[in-house]
A = this chain, B = another copy of it.
Amino acid sequence: MTEHLYFEDLPVGRHFLSRGMTVEADAVRAFATEFDPQPFHTDAVAAENSLFKGLAASGWHTAAMTMRLIVETLPLAGGVIGAGVDELRWPRPVRPGDTLHIDIEVLEARISRSNPSGGWLKLRVTTLNQDAQTVQVIVPNIMATLRGVPA
């Protein structure tokens, strides 16, 4: 059983690093076939002649893999529930075979005005590949439970 994290465990400036997750070519094609059916995400030959110059994961696949790593890396009491994301950028393509990890930084933390048992956290979640190149940045706003309040 993973120990839960609470609002107080995420002070501004703290970083959390995830494990690495390898991106499989089959998974890139399967995700894209269902959600982003465009040749540069599904067909290696067609992708060579595209802007991406080779098969690239859908940005939404990168976002979904990032969420998987967030859930594993931040075992918040009550779960990771977000109201939205201030910004989402994909500065570089994700390729089959890449190994991704995330670096979560706490940018802001404030107690909720409407719910005294909870707080809001603004995070910067940077997704990097095995060469430490940034492939995605998101700035989500999530809820967190205060310690001592039943989850």
Q: Which residues of A contact B (CB under 8 A)?
A: 31, 34-40, 50-51, 58-61, 63-65, 67-68, 71, 78-90
Contacts and interface: CB of A to CB of B under 8 A. Distances in A.
Given A34-B68, A37-B68, A86-B87, 6 more contacts: A35-B65, A36-B64, A36-B67, A38-B80, A83-B90, A85-B89
B86 A35 contact: no
Copy number in this complex?
A: 2
22 contacts: A35-B65, A35-B67, A36-B67, A37-B68, A37-B71, A38-B71, A38-B79, A40-B79, A58-B64, A58-B67, A59-B82, A60-B60, A60-B64, A64-B64, A83-B89, A84-B87, A84-B89, A84-B90, A85-B85, A85-B87, A85-B88, A88-B88
Contacts of A90: 82-84
A60 B51 CA distance: 25
- The SS class assigned to the A binding surface is mixed
